[in-house]
A = this chain, B = another copy of it.
Amino acid sequence: MPTIKTNRNSTKKEVIINKASKLFREKGFSATSMRDLAENVGVEAASLYNHIQSKAEILQEICFRVANQFMTYLEEMENSKTSSITKLESILRFHIQQMIHNYESVHVADREWKHLTDPYLSNYKTQRKVYRQRLAGIIEQGIQKKEIKKIDAPTAVLIMLHAVSGIESWHRSKQKISAELLEENMVMILVDGLRAS
């Protein structure tokens, strides 16, 4: 009788969530069945329910873990004593790195959160809104201090965040440039696009 392999000293629930992240990214939440997931984990579908409560719960865990990571880093930056443009660059780099190294779950949190159900859905939506507002706040500070050119801050946030999510294409491309080079190029374009000149 096969057992869920727990190579890295992670719980079996962790293994399920990791496999789910991969599948949700590849096929989307709705198009991924519990039987798909079970097969990838190496077990019957019903057995998954010894470790998780529902398909919905898996998505919740993925989304809120990611959200917490980003919120934590944002707060860290808000409290740091650097220029606005440097804060922004740090946050951008954090997003890029997360998207590179934590690809599956970050991408799922970004694209599949719509399939959350209330009350988690509305909770997630407000978290998302608050995050963007605070990010826009940093930009507005930078504009006041004339570090950043006069632009609509929410639009800048929108560009930043969505540009980063484009790293999915990088992951899929055959001849990719190195992760470091990718990061530098993205920072160069986006930060220079914002900087007051």
Contacts and interface: CB of A to CB of B under 8 A. Distances in A.
B155 A177 contact: yes
A151 B188 contact: yes
A169 B151 CA distance: 17
Interface string A138-180: 0000000000010110111011011111110110010001000
Interface in A88-110: none
A197 interface: yes
Given A27-B114, A192-B193, A152 B181 contact: yes
Identify which of A170, A181, A193 gathers the most chain B CB atoms within 10 Å of its CB.
A193
Given A30-B28, A188-B149, A193-B193, A182 B159 contact: no
Contacts of A46: none
Contacts of A165: 162
B188 A190 contact: no
How large, as a class, is the contact surface on chain A?
A: 35 or more
A194 B166 CA distance: 17
A1 interface: no
A165 B154 CA distance: 15
B28 A151 contact: no
A170 B177 CA distance: 31
A32 to B, nearest CB: 9
Interface of A: 27-31, 111, 114-115, 132, 149, 151-152, 154-156, 158-159, 161-167, 169-170, 173, 177, 181-182, 185-186, 188-194, 197
Closest 10 CB pairs of A and B: A193-B193, A162-B166, A30-B30, A30-B31, A189-B193, A158-B166, A155-B185, A159-B163, A163-B163, A152-B185
22 contacts: A27-B114, A28-B28, A28-B30, A111-B111, A149-B192, A151-B185, A155-B170, A158-B166, A158-B169, A159-B163, A159-B166, A159-B190, A161-B166, A162-B166, A162-B169, A163-B166, A188-B193, A189-B190, A189-B194, A190-B193, A192-B193, A193-B193
